[in-house]
Amino acid sequence: MDLAALQQLLAALPSGRVACVGDLMVDRFVYGDVSRVSPEAPIPVLARTRELVMLGAAGNVARNVAALGGSVALIGVVGGDAEGSEALRLVGQESGVEGFLVHDLSRPTTLKTRFVSGGQQLLRVDLEESRPVEGECEQRLVRTIRDVADGVGVILVSDYGKGVVTPAVIAACREASASGAKVIVDSKARSFARYGEVDIIKPNSAELAYATEMPTSTDEEVEAALIRALELCEARSVLVTRAAKGMSLAVRGEPVRHFQGTPKAVFDASGAGDTTLAALGLALAASSSIEAAIGMGLLASGVAVGKVGTATVSPDELMEAALSAHLAPAEAKIATPQRMIEEVARWRAKGLRVGFTNGCFDVLHRGHVAYLNQARGWCDRLIVGLNSDRSVRALKGEGRPVNDLESRALVLAGLGSVDLVVPFDEDTPIKLIEAARPDVLVKGADYTEAEVVGAREVRSWGGDVKLASLVEGYSTTAAIARMTGTN
């Protein structure tokens, strides 16, 4: 997506107002470490370390709309149980989300509990009841939709098949289109026909295959399935999300169009479809074109899959993702301290060992390459703290550095042994070390451990300090002397 167009769209998002209607869930993530198998059965024993609780499904869509800067009305159903109270508390904590939740004391609040270790889900336990809402509960939902829909640009319907999206609820959403609101449905249903003349139905490729009984692996297969989907329903268009392959859009009377995304490392796909729906809907509510809305949806989903749990995405993260997509791989490794903290959190959640080293790396030579390779061998991800030009001068004197910060950073980032380069302007890297809290701190063997900045701190949180061997006869000073003929 063009950067200028994205900036313009992000600036317009606060003008968008959206209603989210559908199945509301509470997502609970239980994280821990697995180091042994139970003596009672051949199953892993999870030593619980922390727990996260957040809104899921329609609630997660609403959270993402608010995180992107829009205002959102959340309409759904909760039970009279502890999970229902938790859902109400979570809605109250979300700035920008206005809750219109209907109580149904005859059913539990949907709860999904995921047990996670080393970045992998071990088990999911669901507490739910999927029968359709009815009677007074359904009538209250319909009345609420009619009251809230006035003034919204888009109504997002999250149909997870838990019973909230009944024919009467769908009809109430469609009625709002008479006042100009677009209706977009995120459907898990077998039949798209149940939604009638909505603007967009947004399945993923597996859901499209399920609804049409057709394969959806290739572009050609997706095109055929989309055409079939339009034959089976009255929707004006069907937009299928295809993970790393992007999205494909079928509009009645037009050829199918494919929109390519940027492949991302997938850490946790939980809620990524909700994020896509939120970005798409809010962009359209802010009067963007469908092409721009899809572009923002692709960016948002790419950010979301790199986060833990049912995560939200901010405008700053979208802009950073767009900038990264325009950078060469080496440039994308150069990071701010804040981005370093976020990357370290993602690495740690995946159970990866994080290493840190630092230096001026003014004239890169064989000794540096060997040193960084050795450092990378002690960890899964290596961060290099890089002295700014000012701090190099403070350490080495006038005439240094020979190469400026940008040049030094790009050369370091081009090495396969380096995962992140973080410039710093202070005389020592202690602030970066304390922010990253590395598992291993590396310096050259020309230091003693007592001389290594940050060694005491790294030892205090259980990390290791390693002294890497140096290649004889190679140093920056010697290299400069050879170049200038002063040796």
Residues that are catalytic = 274
Relative orientation angle of helices 290-304 and 272-285, to the nearest 10 degrees: 150
Could you report how far apart the first and last alpha carbons of the chain are, in Å? 53
> Phi and psi at residue 85, in whole multiples of 5°?
-65, -40
User: Cα(351)–Cα(83) distance, rounded to whole angstroms?
Assistant: 30
- Judge whether 480 and 363 are in contact, CB under 8 Å: yes
Q: Which 3-state string (H, E, C) describes the chain?
A: CCHHHHHHHHHHHHHCEEEEEECEEEEEEEEEEEEEECCCCCCEEEEEEEEEEEEEEHHHHHHHHHHCCCEEEEEEEECCCHHHHHHHHHHHHCCCEEEEEEECCCCCCEEEEEEEECCEEEEEEEECCCCCCCHHHHHHHHHHHHHHCCCCCEEEEEECCCCCCCHHHHHHHHHHHHHCCEEEEEECCCCHHHHCCCCEECCEHHHHHHHHCCCCCCHHHHHHHHHHHHHHCCCCEEEEECHHHCEEEEECCCCCEEECCCCCCCCCCCCHHHHHHHHHHHHHHCCCCHHHHHHHHHHHHHHHCCCCCCCCCCHHHHHHHHHHHCCCHHHHCECCHHHHHHHHHHHHHCCCCEEEEEECCCCCCHHHHHHHHHHHHCCCEEEEEEECHHHHHHHHCCCCCCCCHHHHHHHHHCCCCCCEEEEECCCCCHHHHHHHCCCEEEEECCCCHHHCCCHHHHHHCCCEEEEECCCCCCCHHHHHHHHHCCC
Closest by alpha carbon to 255, among 289, 280, 283, 230? Answer: 230
Question: How far, in whole angstroms, is CA 252 from its chain's centroid?
Answer: 32
CB 154 within 8 Å of CB 182: yes
Q: What are phi and psi of 149, to 5 degrees?
A: -65, -20
| Separate counts of helices (H) and strands (E) for the chain | 18, 18
How many CB atoms within 10 Å of residue 100?
18
